Structure formats: structure tokens, C-alpha cells
Amino acid sequence: MIQPKFIFTQYFNYFEVYIENLEKLSVEQIQEIEIFVKKRNGIFDFNRYTFSIQKRLEFYQFLSLLENENFNVECKNKIVQKKHSSKIGFGQYKGMNFSDLTNSYMLWLKNNYRGYEREKIDEELKKRKLL
């Protein structure tokens, strides 16, 4: 059986994991990953081969979590250079950078926000390839 290959990327308020070999995994393995993500109120995005969980975890904590769930995976840590983006000017995240918002919140904004910062939201969605 093929071992899943995860690439972990940490952001300010969440982390995202790219599954490098998703197409080669068995249905059972994919379902196992889906259950893991769902138990943590995360989002599994089949189009982008990623899942994200709205929790601030370090790489070693994520590895420990996988170990506790008896996942047999290969996992790498991807370091991302912090890019400054516009700050959000409304709501509970006012003052934070758009780049620090979770994918799920950005998708919610995409579908629900019609205000003056719409262009900034669309720009961030394009950077993340969510638009």
C-alpha cells in the first residue's frame, strides 16, 4: 500500500496540508484522512489536494497528532515567507492581515461579503487559488 505524502504549511491562525500523492491513494486511505479532518472541524479540498484545520499547531505537534492516530504517512514541513497583505477593516478580525485569515473564513467572505473591501478579498482568494 502506498504511503500518503503530506506537506505541512503553517500560517498565522491555521495550518494547511497538501497531499502530494492523493491520486495514488486507496479509497480507504482517503476516507481515513477525511475522517481525521472532519473530527477536527477542518476542510478537505479535493480540487486542491489539501486540507486545512483552524487550529494553530507547530509541525512537531502535527506529527504527534498523526502518530496518536496511527497514521503511517511521510510528512514534510514547508516554510513560507511571510508576505504582508492588506489589513481587514471590519468584523471580529479587524486589524489582522487578510493573509492571516483561514481559508474557510475567506470562502465565507467570498460568498457573503459585498462591502468596500471586496477587491482585497478577491485578491487574497486569487493568491490562494480559491477563486
> Among the three residues 78, 98, 121, which one is the final residue of a domain in this structure?
78
Q: Are residues 16 and 67 in the same domain?
A: yes
Instruction: Quote the cell numbers at residue 45.
Output: 479540498
CB atoms within 10 A of CB 42: 22
What amino acid is encoded at 64 in this protein? Answer: S
Q: Which domain holds residue 35?
A: 5-78
Strands 50-53 and 43-45: antiparallel
Residues 97-126: pLDDT tens digits?
A: 888 888 888 889 999 999 889 999 998 898
Shared-domain flag, residues 16 and 55: yes
CA-closest candidate to residue 16, choices 38, 34, 42: 42
Grid cell digits, residue 12 = 498565522
The answer, yes or no, to whether residue 7 has pLDDT greater than 70, is: yes
H-run or E-run covering 9: strand 5-10
Beta carbons of 103 and 16 less than 8 angstroms apart: yes
3-state secondary structure of 36: helix
pLDDT, tens digit, for every residue of 50-106?
998 878 888 999 999 999 999 889 999 998 766 667 889 988 888 888 888 888 888
